[in-house]
Structure 1
């Protein structure tokens, strides 16, 4: 077993993920794992980075499947040991993951936002919220019940809420102190997902996520926060400041 610093990027074969891998390879003192669902695409991405003198490691990882996650986790533990104190976790959210985007019919939307922002919200309760949206969307009355007209918005608000839950759990884990989790809005980036309509390059979209991944061990701020593309912390509960759109 090799005790080394490691960085793991999910979905690292293209888009923002690929740009994050590239920047981490340039700045991170340790091994960078580019992970992807498809082995061929992942290895092709590694080869592309090799042309620039960068040498990420590769491993298959499909976060939609528990077995894939377990295989990768077992590999990391065997090769590098468990994830350690002082780790940094960056959850890729979106402007759509801001709480204000829960904007269905009132007063029901306010009640839903209150449930999401409950400081004692549990992961089980968060899953219940997501299941409630799925059912309401299937029934066609989601907006009347307070939900927005976008599954993407609800999924990203869920990611932002999960970030807060995870940080609270790590804060309580005295066996692994100093673990910091943040959610980040990378900006509206020119990727396949945005149908290449975003004005930002993938390199620009990687700036804030990489900054959070490389927070020094003696710096635990921001922590459990919603971070904007320019690295500033934005209140998740309050309305977005003027000018904060994409």
Structure 2
């Protein structure tokens, strides 16, 4: 009997991450997802599937705290043993934060926060989990169109996302012997609570940004989730080391 695939999604309790979790479950993956502080959101997501027999677990993790990775890895292995599976088949590095800060005003503390959440954390978390990741697995790193389109106030954020795109390229090369693929997804503006929910909640901003998309609307979390699920599937088995924009023709 074929073993069910297992996906791990960081920051899976809300926004894009939540839709990624749902889409991966729809595609018959068992899913482990992380949350940083909002246990209620995680519990509510699990409750959506409680009566279905679907395998879904949530673990608390702050991706900026490398010192937590050892115990987190042990928790992952306990779940894998409980489910009687060999390892993780898809890792989605999605967890993130966002804030606007002009280049000339950015502080070292803000830089370090972005560094730890968006680059250093995912770098060393992926490294730590390598022994729990199956051969032929897929790594998907969530980047941003901010690496392609320069928007004032996003220099620190975009720099870290650019670094993750580079790491995806090197992961694809250095993990290729194990047939582990690594790709980056670049979403454009998406209607979530990211950066205070401005794109989702402020009609004038939503309308203005929609006009900057060839398809005439801002992105929705499910738009990104579908692309991520594709990269986690065998249908994308010949896609590796790519930075793929999923933005509805933004800018």
TM-score of Structure 1 vs Structure 2, range by shorter chain? 0.5 to 0.7
CA–CA distance in 2 between the matches of 1:169 and 1:180? 10
Other-structure match for 2:175: 170
RMSD of aligned residue pairs (Cα, Å): 2.8
* Superposed counterparts of 1:40-189, under 5 Å: 40-50=40-50, 56-80=56-80, 81=86, 82-98=132-148, 101=150, 150-171=155-176, 174=177, 177-189=178-190
Q: Secondary structure at the match of 2:26?
A: helix
Other-structure match for 1:223: 240
1:155 positional shift: 1.4
1:130-180 CA distance string (max 9 Å, x none): xxxxxxxxxxxxxxxxxx962111111111111112212212xx4xx2100
Q: Secondary structure at the match of 1:32?
A: strand
CA–CA distance in 2 between the matches of 1:47 and 1:75? 21
1:212-233 CA distance string (max 9 Å, x none): 11234xx532101011217xxx
- The partner residue of 1:213 within 232, 237, 246 is 232
Q: Are 1:87 and 1:179, in contact at CA under 8 Å, matched by a contact in 2?
A: yes
CA–CA distance in 2 between the matches of 1:51 and 1:193? 30
Q: Are 2:191 and 2:221, in contact at CA under 8 Å, matched by a contact in 1?
A: yes
Unpaired stretches in structure 1, ≥5 consecutive residues = 105-147, 231-242
- The partner residue of 1:204 within 223, 239, 244 is 223
Aligned length: 180
Other-structure match for 2:26: 26
CA–CA distance in 1 between the matches of 2:78 and 2:52? 30
The yes-or-no answer on 1:190 pairing with 2:191 is: yes
Q: If each structure's helix is expressed as a fraction of its own residues, which one has the higher value?
A: 2
1:84-111 CA distance string (max 9 Å, x none): 101111000111134x75x99xxxxxxx
1:51 positional shift: 7.7
Other-structure match for 2:107: none
Greater mean deviation of Cα atoms: 200-209 or 50-59: 50-59
Q: Secondary structure at the match of 1:183?
A: strand
Other-structure match for 1:144: none
1:27 positional shift: 0.7
Q: Are 1:186 and 1:206, in contact at CA under 8 Å, matched by a contact in 2?
A: no
Bigger CA radius of gyration = 1
Q: If each structure's strand is expressed as a fraction of its own residues, which one has the higher value?
A: 2
CA–CA distance in 2 between the matches of 1:21 and 1:89? 15
Other-structure match for 1:235: none
1:44-68 CA distance string (max 9 Å, x none): 3322454888652222222111132
Q: Secondary structure at the match of 2:239?
A: coil
TM-score by length of 1: 0.63
1:24 positional shift: 0.7
